Structure 1
Amino acid sequence: MKGDDEGQIHILEMLTLFWLFFMSATFLIRVQVPDSQSVALDASLEMAGSDAIRYGLGLEAEINGENRLEELLANDDREGVCDLLQSAVAPGKESNCWLAKDSSVSTPHGTVGTPAGGTVAVHRLVVVGSHAWTVTLDVWARGGGA
């Protein structure tokens, strides 16, 4: 008779555990979990910033230098650098341009806007003569979407 009682208790334990797992699953299914932001959005923003910097490095210098970006940096034309880079950002995207010479603090130049969503910062170290410039584009999608 004792063996039958133990069997009944095990069955009740299993039913209780089944009910507990079922209710846990029901709770988890009802919880609204937002989808994570698409990695593709970050990649497109990063690509837009990288392309703009490569564009500046790929343009021929107007007077002297290896390329247009280095020429502008050599002349300490910070507004010109940022205007060049911001004009090269892909359509549908906007950016803020930050420049730092050697070990100075980065400061914004060019057109400064307020992001309407998440941003991606793209950095590039450009050496011009004896100076190291840090060029940063903070890129976001116009309107905050993709």
Structure 2
Amino acid sequence: MTCLRSLVIMVTNEEETLGMDALSSPPPNFRKLILTGKLEKVPQLEEELLPYIASLPHLGLLLLINAYVGQQLCFNTGFLKLTRLEICNFPPLNEIIIEKGVMPNLKSLEIDSCMELKTVPKGIEYLKNL
């Protein structure tokens, strides 16, 4: 699978979760990831899943659909090649934080069906190419 560039993973019903341990060593040319369903933590890592996804060196597109059940989503590392991010259907999400230097190449940010989110993401001013 060294040539794999795109991957779509989705659950068959809302009660299931996405176990991401199969991506413990992603292909080097991985560029597009679409996750539909609630995410579990990666079993080999203690931190949250987001920094793990951020470590994918060539990731340009990330779509997260119904993938998170927390109230705060913090992008604090990586995503250096990411140009497009979509966050969709995160019902309890009420805050998104983007730290300086994260996602320097982001050109498109779409947030949809996050009903508790009342303000634009904190740190959106750091996204110079948006």
Would you say same fold, with TM above 0.5? Answer: no
Q: Normalised by the size of structure 1, how large is the TM-score? A: 0.25
Higher-strand-fraction structure = 2
Higher relative contact order (CA 8 A, sep 6+): 1
Larger Rg: 1
Higher-helix-fraction structure = 1
Q: Normalised by the size of structure 2, how large is the TM-score? A: 0.26
